[in-house]
Copies of this chain bind each other. A is one copy, B any other.
Amino acid sequence: MRVVEVSTFVAAPLGGMTLAQLGADVIRVDPIGGAPDHTRWPLAPSGTSLYWAGLNKGKRSLCVDLRSQQGQEIVTRLITDSGSDGGIVLTNAVGRSWLSYDALVKHRADLIHLQINGHHDGTPAVDYTVNAAVGFPLVTGPQGHADPVNHVLPAWDIACGLYAALAIVSAERHRRLTGQSQRLSVALYDVALAMAGNLGFLAEAEVGKAARPRLGNYLYGGFGRDFTTRDGGRVMVVALTGRHWRDLVAVTDLGEAVSALEGALGVDFSRENDRFAYREVLAGLLQRWFGDRTLAVVQRQLTATSLLWSTYRTFSELVDEHVAGIRTNPMMGVIDQPGVGQHLAPGSPLSTGGPERPRPVRAPVLGEHTNEILRDELGLSESDIDALRARGTVASGKVRR
């Protein structure tokens, strides 16, 4: 499968990278000098964007003057003259009529065109604004906090990018069965709104009796919370099932206290609704146990149970082999990214069952494959390519180390 991606920021690049990790030949097309995301933070000490490098792994890079007619013709040909595996475009660009479904389908009748939008009507939105609009920041964060709490993880971009990859694979499968073209679109806001609905938040607001409160780090409708150990360690603990709860009570030696409470209050903590209703009482009892022990002791004791729990880690701890064992994860590998150097990077989290997981592949430098694509995919001669470069219609980048 060959996908031409004209993209910026997170959702569209992640969609393309996900397809590349499944084996597709993904060509990211950028304007000369790069799209606005090319210098996005975080940066390596050299100034190279770790963000851009992370979201474009395993793609080829073509740099073209997208405002020139000749540049637009090159991209159009790359999309439409690309054999039975091609004719697929993934973009979040707006206002480029030459890149629209209607323009491109004239050149290729079985075109697959996926447009990522902010809103379904084509108006713009980004993860930050979508998140504000769909309710989550007002229920996230410490109990009693009055202000919205934005997420740092761009969760909507991630979901939107994965929907984009799914849409393209589904459309390509459909094209193999029917020969049909597909005009696909997905809006970032719709992804967020759909998930708010899928998880019951919309229905709760529409048919429920009371607005959901801000619960801090408590699990809603069950028992889970973070606890602090004597030496300042932080642990998230979740008792989702009856067995988890029994194990939590046993390991913390709270059986008697819990039974006495159940008798006095007329409740049954084997029921998760009762655990939720008295979550603060239970957490208070449990915190004494955690606060009396070091993190190492807590970890050793919880490991022997069925409980779902984890230490909170900083990103620095996460990449520290002694803390997180990250180098033994078969998804992780070391790549040598120009401008960054050797560092750990993830491959695809999807395992297709082979004995070896595919290794992560570094991102291209901007324009790294311009010459090879013009020559091999579009059949241009070296002198044609030189002339395009001299005119500023294309640009190529070299890997410097």
Contacts and interface: CB of A to CB of B under 8 A. Distances in A.
Contact of A315 (B145, B149, B185, B212): B212
B149 A42 contact: no
What DSSP secondary structure best describes chain A's contact surface? mixed
B129 A315 contact: no
A236 interface: yes
A44 B203 contact: yes
Contacts of A167: 350, 352
Contacts of A22: 166, 170
Interface in A212-250: 212, 215-217, 219-222, 224, 226, 234-236, 238, 240-241
Most chain B beta-carbon neighbours within 10 Å: one of A51, A131, A182, A216: A51
A148 B340 CA distance: 30
Interface residues of A, number: 140
Interface stretch (A68-76, A136-144, A258-266, A382-390): A136-144
Nearest to A162: B162
A42 B208 contact: yes
B353 A185 contact: yes
Nearest to A150: B217
Contacts of A368: none
A182 B208 CA distance: 43
A310 interface: yes
A196 B318 contact: yes
A280 to B, nearest CB: 15
Interface stretch (A152-160, A291-299, A373-381): A152-160
B55 A199 contact: yes
B308 A124 contact: yes
Interface stretch (A282-290, A329-337, A393-401): A329-337
A190 interface: yes
Q: Which of A10, A140, A166, A204 has the most CB of B within 10 A?
A: A166
A314 interface: yes
A238 B166 contact: no
Nearest to A57: B198
Interface string A147-183: 1111111110011101101110111110011000011
A151 B162 contact: no
A251 interface: no
Given A126-B240, A316-B211, A352-B184, A172 B173 contact: yes
Contact of A153 (B44, B147, B151, B173): B151
A26 to B, nearest CB: 14
A163 B55 contact: no
A54 interface: yes
Contacts of A140: 140, 149-153
A187 B329 CA distance: 11
Contact of A346 (B125, B141, B197): B197
Contacts of A254: none
Interface in A103-156: 118, 120, 124-126, 128-142, 145, 147-155
22 contacts: A36-B241, A42-B203, A42-B204, A42-B220, A55-B199, A124-B308, A128-B219, A130-B310, A132-B236, A137-B312, A142-B149, A149-B217, A150-B217, A152-B215, A158-B158, A160-B349, A176-B177, A185-B350, A194-B349, A197-B346, A203-B343, A211-B316
Interface of A: 10, 14, 17-18, 22, 36, 40-45, 49-51, 53-55, 57, 101, 118, 120, 124-126, 128-142, 145, 147-155, 158-160, 162-163, 165-167, 169-173, 176-177, 182-187, 190-191, 193-209, 211-212, 215-217, 219-222, 224, 226, 234-236, 238, 240-241, 273, 276, 308-319, 324, 326, 329-332, 340-341, 343-353
